Chain A
Amino acid sequence: MMPLEVENLTFAYDGRSVLRGVSFQLMPGEVLGLIGPNGAGKSTLIRLAAGFLRPDRGTVRLFGRPPAHWPPRQLARWVALVPQGAYIPPTFTVWESVLLGRTPYLGFLGVPRQPDRAATRRALEWVGIADLSERLVGELSGGERQRVLLARALAQEPRCLLLDEPTTHLDIHHQVAVLSLIRRMAVECGIAVLIVLHDLNLAATFADRLVLLVDGMLVALGDPKEVLCRERLTAIYGDTVAVFPRPDDGGRPAILPRIGQGNLPAQGRIT
């Protein structure tokens, strides 16, 4: 059963078209990167996939069924979400915040049992914040808070992870650590990962396949080398980027900034 199937997905906010006819599939054990310029509809796509929004046309299916057709508890055991910069009350401790990920498993009166505490501890260690577990969320840095959100999602022990920019506020060491962890989860545990990434180099390095959204349309889908080719990036970002194949990583593309005119090409040229 496919973790996520998106078919001809079309969505508009108050008549303003955000997504137009997007189709792709997310397979088990795969890291699928969702990239595109600002306002391309990446976050909206994640929110549709999580079931917060209903498609205007087309379908979203998680493990074979539209999100709204799943009992919420059941869905939360299979699909976890890391929202972008989401709010956690500052008076919660890190431990309490991550333990919330066990919500779909808790029984009578919400008392956490041994497996719940074990999963919470594991998630804290994976993400590298075990030493913060007694700290209050209000005292954390932005990067630490972002990792709390990721740990909470991992504590859900999901089969599918939806991540919206999980590496914002992180320095490069932690970006790489977090994304390596996510890759390992996919490869070793067979978790399907849909991840919105703003940084094209991170996307090129850590994703198996990429979905490139521009202006609500799926412009390219496939291997990072093909999706992030020089012609296409120049068409989208103009003369502000340079693309090189990396000698150290099987020719995956490296994208570097370049002093350019900053003129964006006309939309018609993007295909």
Chain B
Amino acid sequence: MHSSNSSEPSHPNLFRQRRWLFLALGVGLLLVTATLGFAWGAVSIPPGVALRIVGHQLGQGSGPTDWPPAWETILLQIRVPRVVLAGLVGITLAVAGAVYQALFRNPLAEPYLIGVSSGASFGATLAIVLIWRLGRSGWSGVSLAAFVGALLATAAIYGLARVGGRTPVTTLILAGVAVNTLLSAATVFLMFSMQDAFQAMHVLGWLMGSLALADWEKVQVILPYILGGLAVIAWHAHSLNVLQLDEEQAQSLGVAVERTKGILIVAVSLATAAAVSVSGTVGFVGLIIPHIVRLIWGPDHRFLLPMSGILGAVGIILADGAARTLFAPRELPLGAVTAVAGAPFFLYLLRRQKREIF
């Protein structure tokens, strides 16, 4: 049934055996990427200086402050929070993708499947229409509405898909597609009702994803949801391995299937809703990063989850760097950059591999 007709050595090879080394390399890559993220922008700051400024701020560097004071402001108030936020969004979307693919045993599952994106979009659009500026400081009404919208849509889809105390995957995916379509249409209607072209542009900008409004308060607000969600997911990493089997096998190996699925859905939805509420819709990361990691290092979630998170963070930091430098001073939509960069790379890997990857 499953055959390997490729000329590639399909044996778990060097990559699988040395995977923890690769994880360390990944952490190194993330640090390098973050440093580049500090350096890039309308005002270019040499990476070495950027690191010294950050180090100085953290109380590590005691050397002279021989840089322009403006650089310090740009870095600490704008770029560092932006890179941190990009990293958090990247980690969350990639890990969420891996979790959804495992939970639903479906290679097409991604963070937006169960309504996070369409719910967030609808909430954000509604907030923009109502010019909603209440909410907590640092987390505009738009973000808050996106967060609430994402959670409500997820709850609706999950509730609709429940049949007699169980949640069959097919029903869940179908309910997800239907609710997503409905909410996307509702978002379009809302946009049409706008008199103001600027408002419509604002919505469009949100829908295509952006981190232009990043600041430390946004980081602070979403951090608890993301850390909490990731901790719960890490705790269940092995259960996700077992859930790759069918549900009866998982149960006979001692996993309380329905309960585990429920806990994971709640954790992953909270984290994703928090990420999407500040970034808007950033597609493709959640879909391809886990597949790339699975392709190279195999399906063990104890490795798949952290490696996906690291590469997701690297990907979004790079994409955001490109978004703000390629056409500076104008910014590209982040979601467009991730899709343009991600899709061809993924297709290349898929064709090269020529064997089942899921």
Contact = CB atoms under 8 A, between A and B. Distances in A.
Which one of A101, A106, A111, A138 has the greatest number of beta carbons of chain B within 10 Å?
Answer: A138
Nearest to A76: B254
A77 B252 CA distance: 9
Contact of B294 (A51, A91, A111): A91
Interface string A58-100: 0000000000000011111101110100111111110010001
A52 interface: yes
A140 to B, nearest CB: 9
Interface of B is mostly: loop
B6 to A, nearest CB: 11
Given A90-B356, A91-B299, A100-B241, A50 B252 contact: yes
Interface string A121-162: 000000000000011111100000000000000001000000
Contact residues on B (Cβ < 8 Å of other chain), bracket: 20 to 34
A117 interface: no
A231 to B, nearest CB: 38
Nearest to A94: B12
A147 B252 CA distance: 17
Interface residues of A, number: 38
Interface in B95-118: none
A109 interface: yes
Given A89-B244, A103-B242, A138-B2, A83 B254 contact: no
A101 B253 contact: yes
A134 B15 CA distance: 13
Interface in B207-258: 234-235, 237-239, 241-242, 244-246, 248-249, 251-256
A96 B300 contact: yes
A120 to B, nearest CB: 13
B173 to A, nearest CB: 19
Interface of A: 47, 50-52, 72-77, 79-81, 83, 86-93, 96, 100-101, 103-104, 106, 109-111, 134-139, 156
18 contacts: A72-B255, A74-B254, A76-B252, A77-B254, A81-B252, A83-B252, A86-B249, A90-B2, A90-B356, A100-B241, A103-B253, A109-B234, A110-B237, A110-B241, A134-B11, A134-B12, A138-B3, A156-B253
